[in-house]
Amino acid sequence: MIVENIRKDLKTRFIGRQIHYFRELSSTQDLAIYMAENSPEAVNGTAILAEHQDKGRGRLKSRWISPNGGIWLSIILKPLMPASKTPLLSFAAALAICETIAEQTSLEPKVKWPNDILINHKKVCGILLDVATKGDRVDYAVIGIGINANVNIDKILPYLDVNKHREVSATSLKNELSGKYLNRPAFLKVLLERFEFYYDRLQKDDGSHIIVNKIKDRLEYNSVTIEQGNRTIEGIIIGLGLDGSLLIKQNDGSSVEVSFGDIRTRE
């Protein structure tokens, strides 16, 4: 990938103004965390990008397969917000990704709560958020974005553990575009700009409303089964809280709020 093509005419103020690009890396997320902890260079918005990761990390301690052709990106953030609001950073990223995919391709992305992006019911992108706090103050956050862009999907499917955390199969943008390659630098430029827009909104008072409402419109599923440890919650999504939690009407008519756990669609 030619990183100069991302930098050229990038309209952001701070997101992606510093980009560190690697052909090979263990994990952009781990390097971003290391930099945020140790390096004065790790200013707000610093992006780490890799062509290939050999120790890509997913949520819930899963492995993230990251062959050439994908977009493997982590952004270091120094948000001015209470720690309780940080889950919304994932939503800001999810919205930015959905809007960029919709703008740059003919595809219709959806969000699977809390932070997967699906196309035609298959996962095309995962988001990973790591937050370091000091008391209630956020020291730094790293948002990791993995998009199967120009990935040959046969390289990923054999590694999917659908029985563990992933109820959906995977796809890539190239796969959904019948083999057509995505211009990754052009895509990334729009993505960084959109993400900065929503990140700015989040730090304003009305930002959470806007982001939560927009995510609501993109939610993939109505009927859900949530697994939280050994508890299973089944019902219909009736809303999203301003902290990103899910409001579910259970089959017995009672409502329950869920802020973590894995999600499955109803058979």
Residue 56 touching ligand BTN (CB under 6 A): yes
How far apart (Å, rounded) are the C-alpha atoms in residues 142 and 128? 8
Q: In this complex, which beta carbon is closest to ligand BTN, that of residue 29 or of residue 245?
A: 29
| Comparison of 148 and 208: residue with beta carbon closer to ligand BTN | 148
Quote the CA–CA distance of 147 and 26 in Å, as a whole number: 17
Instruction: Give the per-residue contact string, 23-52, with ligand BTN (x = CB under 6 A; - = no).
Output: ----xxx-----------------------
Residue recorded with tokens 């980009």? 19
- Cα separation, 197 vs 194, in Å, equals 5
Give me the helices (H) in the chain, please.
4-7, 28-38, 87-104, 173-176, 184-202, 207-218
Residues 153-192 that bind ligand BTN (CB under 6 A): none
Q: How far is the CB of 33 from ligand BTN (least distance, A)?
A: 10
Asked if 107 and 173 count as a contact pair (C-beta separation under 8 A), the reply is yes
Task: Tell me whether residue 44 or residue 62 sits nearer to ligand BTN (CB atom).
Answer: 62
State the nearest-atom distance from the C-beta of 205 to ligand BTN, in Å. 29
# of chain residues touching ligand BTN (CB under 6 A): 21
What is the rounded distance in angstroms from the CA atom of residue 231 to the CA atom of residue 211?
29
User: What's the one-letter identity of residue 111?
Assistant: V
Nearer residue to ligand BTN within complex by CB, 47 or 138: 47
User: Is residue 157 a contact partner of residue 170, using CB atoms and an 8 Å limit?
Assistant: yes
| Residue whose CB is less far from ligand BTN, 85 or 165 | 165
Q: Residue 27 or 86: which CB sits closer to ligand BTN?
A: 27
| Interacting residues with ligand BTN between 132 and 151 (CB under 6 A) | 144-146
Helix, strand, coil percentages for the chain (3-state, nearest 5) = 30, 30, 40
How far apart (Å, rounded) are the C-alpha atoms in residues 54 and 23? 11
- Binding ligand BTN by CB under 6 A: which of 16, 36, 59, 172? 59
Least distance to ligand BTN, CB of residue 53, Å: 6
64 C-beta neighbours (distance < 10 Å), count: 20
The secondary structure element, H or E, covering residue 133 is strand 122-134
* Number of residue whose CB is nearest ligand BTN: 126
* Identity of the residue, 35 or 235, whose beta carbon is nearer to ligand BTN in the bound complex: 35
The site map against ligand BTN for 201-240 (x = CB under 6 A) is: ----------------------------------------
Of 90, 92, 66, 85, the C-alpha closest to 156 is 66
Query: Of 7-15, 53-61, 175-183, 257-265, which part binds ligand BTN (CB under 6 A)?
Result: 53-61
Write out the residues near ligand BTN by the rule CB under 6 A. 27-29, 53, 56-59, 62, 64, 66, 72-74, 116, 126-128, 144-146
